[in-house]
Structure 1
Amino acid sequence: MQWKRLMTITRKEFIHIKRDKASLIIALMMPIMMLLLFGFAVNTDVNNVDLIVYDGSRTSESRELTSKFTNSSYFRLYGEVNSPKEVEEYIAMGKVKVGLVIPPDYTKELRRNSPTEVQVLVDGSDPTIARTAMSYSLLIGNNYSLKMKKIETQRSALGKQENTGISLKPFVLYNPTLESSKFNVPGVIGLILQNITVILTSFAMVREREKGTIEQLIMTPVTSFELIVGKLIPYTLIGFFDMIVALLLGNIIFGVTIKGSVALLILLGTLFLICSLAMGMLISTVAKTQLQAMQASIALLLPSVLLSGFMFPRESMPKIVYYISNVLPMTYFLQILRGIIVKGVGITYLISPIISLLILIFIIVGITMKKFSKTLD
C-alpha cells in the first residue's frame, strides 16, 4: 500500500462528498436532530395533564378541592363545564385526559361528616397517562382528606370527632383494563401506512431520473398531473392493503377491535394516505439520488415516531417540541385512529384533528405540485 495512492483516493472521495451537498447536510445535521429529539421527546414523566372540571356544588369547599388539583404540577385546568356529560364529551374528543366530577351535595355531605365521593374520569386510550393520572388523583385526594381530618380534630374540644374526608373514585373510560395493545396497535397502523408509502413514493421519480427515463416521459403527451397520479396509484393500493392487513392482524393476534365506523376509518385513512404520498413525492422531486431519498425519508419519519404521541406522551414534552409536533400529519391521524378504534367516536368528535389534517394535506400537496412542475420544466 502506497500512501500517495491512498491519499489520492481519499481526496477524491472528499470531493464527491463536497459535491453531494444534500447528503453532506443530512449527515452533519442528523446527529444534532436525533440528539435534540431523543433528549426532549423521550420523556416518560407525565405533568400538566389537561383537566376538565364539573363543579356541581359551587362552594368554597369545592373550589378548594379544584385548586388542589390545578395548583399542582400534575394537572392543568382546561376549563369548567355545566354537566358530567360534557366532561365525558371533552374526553371523547381528546381535548383533555382527565375529568373531575364534584357532585352537587359535596359540601352538604362534607359538613355532615358523611362519606363524600368525588369521581375522576380518566381517558384509558393512553394507558401511560391514565395510570399516572389515577395515581396523582388518589395522592391529591388522600393528602386533602388527611388535612381536613387534622383541622377537624384540632377544632374538636376532646379531639375525638372524626371527619370522614373525601373519597376519590377513579373511573377509566374506553380501556378499563389499560391494555397497552389497544394503545399501540392503532399507532402502529398509522406508522405502517406512513412509512411504507413515504419510502416507496420517495423513490418513484428518483429512480426514473437515475435511469435516464424521466426525459422520455417528459417527451410524451402525458401531463404532469397524469404522471403523478399514474405513479401514485400502485402505492395507494399497497397502502390500502397494508392497512387492511394491519387491522386484521391487530384483531386476530392482539384482540383490538374497531369500536367505531369502519367506513369512516377508511375514509380518513384515505386522506392520510394522500398526505403521505404527497410527502413521499415531495422528497422524490427534491432528492437527486435514491440515497438522498432514503436519508430524507428517515429524517422525516423519525420525528413522526417520537413527537406524534405514538411512543411518548406529548403532554410531557417542552412547549417548543409540542408546537413542532402540531405540524406533523401523524399527530392528528393518531388521534383519529385511537378515537375510532379505541373510543368508537363519530366524526363530530374528530372535527379538530380532521380539519388540521386537511390543512396540512392542502399545504403539502400544493408544495409538491409546484415543486414537481418546476422539476419537469
Structure 2
Amino acid sequence: MKFARLLAVVRKELVQLARDRLTFAMIVGIPTLQLLLFGFAINLDIRHLPAAVLDQANTAHSRELVAELASSQVLDFRYRLNAPQQIDEQMRRGTINAAIVIPPDFETRLARPDRPAWQVVVDGSDQSVQAAARQLGSFPLATLGYGSAESPPGAQAVPGVEIVNLYNPQRRAPVNTVPGLIGVILAMTMVIFTAMAIVRERERGNMEMLIATPLSPFELTIGKVLPYIGIGLIQVTLILLLGEFVFGVPVRGSILDVYLAALVYIGAMLTLGVFISTLANSQFQAMQMAFFTFLPQILLSGFMFPYDGMPRPAQWLAEVFPLTHFLRLIRGIMLREAHLGEMWHEIAALAVFITVMLAIALRRFRKTLD
C-alpha cells in the first residue's frame, strides 16, 4: 500500500464532500440540531399542563389547595367546571389533560384519614400526563396537613389524593405507543417514498419522456403522489390490526374518523416529500433531507418527550410539524372516543400545511432537466 495513492483518494473524497453542499450541511446540521433540541427543548419535567378545577366544596381549604397546586406550575388551570360530566367532555376534546376534583365533603374528608380527600383525573392516553399525575400525587401540601399517595387500579384509595386514570386505567404502554407509531411510521415512509420516487425520475432519465407529454406540473405531481396514498392507508390498516390482535390496543372511536385523519396526515407527509424532491439532486440526498425533517418531528411532537415540558419557542416550532397534530387526532379518536369534528382545529392545521407545502413545491417544480 502506497501512502501517496491513499492520500490521493482521501483528498478526492474531501473535495467531493466540499462540493456536495447538502452532505456538508448534514454533517454540521444533524449534531447541531440534536444538541439544541436535547439541550433546550427536551425537558422531562412537565409544566403548565392544561387543566380544569371542579371545586364542589368551595371552602377556604379547597381554595388553598387549588392555589397551592397552581403554584407548583405543573397544572395550568384554564377552566372552572360545574359538573363532573364536563371533565369527560373537555378531556375527550383534548382541551385539558387533567382535572382536580374537590368533593362537597372536603372538610370532613380532611379529618378522616380512611378516605381520599380530593381527586386528580388525568388523560391516560398520554404517558407524560401520567407522569405529571405522579408528581401531583407526591406534592407536599404542608399547609393542609395531610399526605398523598396513588391508589393502584382496583385497590381501595389510601388517604390523601386519589388518581383516576381515564382511557388507560391499567397504564399499559402499548395503548399510548401504538397510536403514535401510526404517525411516526407514516412520517418516515411517506416522505422518503415520495421524495425518492420523483428524484429517481430525474436520475434514470424518465423525466425526458414526461417533458414530452402535455402534463402540467400539478398533474405530474399529483399523479406521482396518489399511489402512495393507497400505500399509506395499507400501512395504517396493518398497524391497527397488529395493535388490536397482538397488543390489545382498542379503537374506541369511529374507524372512519381514524382513516379520514390518516388520509389528511398522509397528504401532509406526501406534500413534504414532494417539496424535498425539488431540493434534492439524488436519491441519497432525498433520504438525507427526509431524515433531517423526521428527527425534529419525533422529538418535538410529544411522541417521545412531553410536549408540555418544552419551552414556548419549541412548542411553537412543534406546531408547524404535521406529526404533532396527528398524534392529538389519533390518540383522541382511538383512545378517548373523540369525534373528528371536535378536533377540527387539528385538521385545519394539517390542511394549511398541505396547502403551503404544495404551493411551494409546485412553484419550484419545473418540467425541465436542469
Q: Same fold (TM over 0.5)?
A: yes
Residues 375 and 322 of structure 1: CA distance in aligned 2, closer, same or farther (over 3 Å):
farther
Q: Taking structure 1 as reference, are residues 111 and 69 closer, same or farther at Cα in structure 2, changes over 3 Å only?
A: closer
1:283 Cα deviation after fit:
0.7
What secondary structure, in the 3-state scheme, does the structure 1 residue paired with 2:246 have? helix
- Residue 33 of structure 1 aligns with which residue? 33
Aligned counterpart for 2:256 among listed residues 257, 260, 263: 263
Q: Quick one: distance in 2 between partners of 1:326 and 1:91?
A: 20
Say if 1:174 and 1:110 are closer, same or farther in 2 by CA, change over 3 A: closer
Structure that is richer in helix per residue: 1
Structure 1: stretches of 5+ with no match in the other structure: 149-165
1:301 is aligned to 2:300 = no
Mapping 1:77-116, distance limit 5 Å? 77-106=77-106, 109=108
Asked whether 1:251 is paired with 2:217, we answer: no
Tell me by how many angstroms 1:46 deviates: 2.9
71 and 270 in structure 1: CA distance in 2 versus 1, 3 angstrom threshold: same
Cα distance change of structure 1 residues 80 and 263 upon mapping to structure 2, 3 Å threshold: same
1:147, CA displacement in angstroms? 6.1
1:370 aligns with 2:363: yes
Q: Read off the aligned partner of 2:282 and give its amino acid letter.
A: T
Q: Which structure has the greater CA radius of gyration?
A: 1
Counterpart of 2:118 in 1: which secondary structure?
strand
For 1:283, the aligned partner's letter is I
The question of 1:283 aligning with 2:297 is answered no
Shift of residue 295 of structure 1? 0.6
- State the partner residue of 2:72: 72
Equivalent of 1:354 in 344, 347, 350: 347
Cα contact 1:124–1:172 (8 A) shared by 2? yes
Matches for 1:161-310 after TM superposition, within 5 Å: 167-310=160-303
1:129 maps to amino acid: V
**2-side partners of 1:113 and 1:262: how far apart?**
46
What is aligned with 2:145? Answer: 146
Determine the structure 1 residue equivalent to 2:304: 311
Contact 1:68/1:140 (<8 A) preserved = no
Deviations 1:70-122 (A, max 9, x none): 01143232332333222222222222221012234545x47987967322211
- Letter paired with 1:335: R
User: Does the 8 A contact of 1:192 with 1:243 survive in 2?
Assistant: no
Q: 1:376 to 1:271 in 2, by over 3 A?
A: farther
Q: 1:26/1:138 Cα in 2 relative to 1: closer, same or farther (>3 Å)?
A: closer
What is the TM-score of this pair, normalised by structure 1? Answer: 0.87
8 A contact 1:54–1:83 mirrored in 2: yes
Q: How does 1:110-129 map to 2 (within 5 A)?
A: 117-129=117-129
Q: Distance in 1 between matches of 2:13 and 2:132?
A: 55
**C-alpha contact (below 8 Å) 1:106/1:116 kept by paired residues:** no
Q: Tell me the secondary structure at the aligned position of residue 203 of structure 1.
A: helix
Give the distance between the partners of 1:376 and 1:341, measured in 2 at CA. 46
Cα distance in structure 1, aligned partners of 2:218 and 2:47: 47
CA deviations 1:242-270 (Å, max 9, x no partner) are 11111101111001121000111111111
Instruction: Tell me the TM-score normalised to structure 2 length.
Output: 0.88
Distance 1:102 1:34 in 2: 43
Q: Which residue pairs with 2:316 in the alignment?
A: 323
Question: Does the Cα contact within 8 Å between 2:182 and 2:236 map onto a contact in 1?
Answer: yes
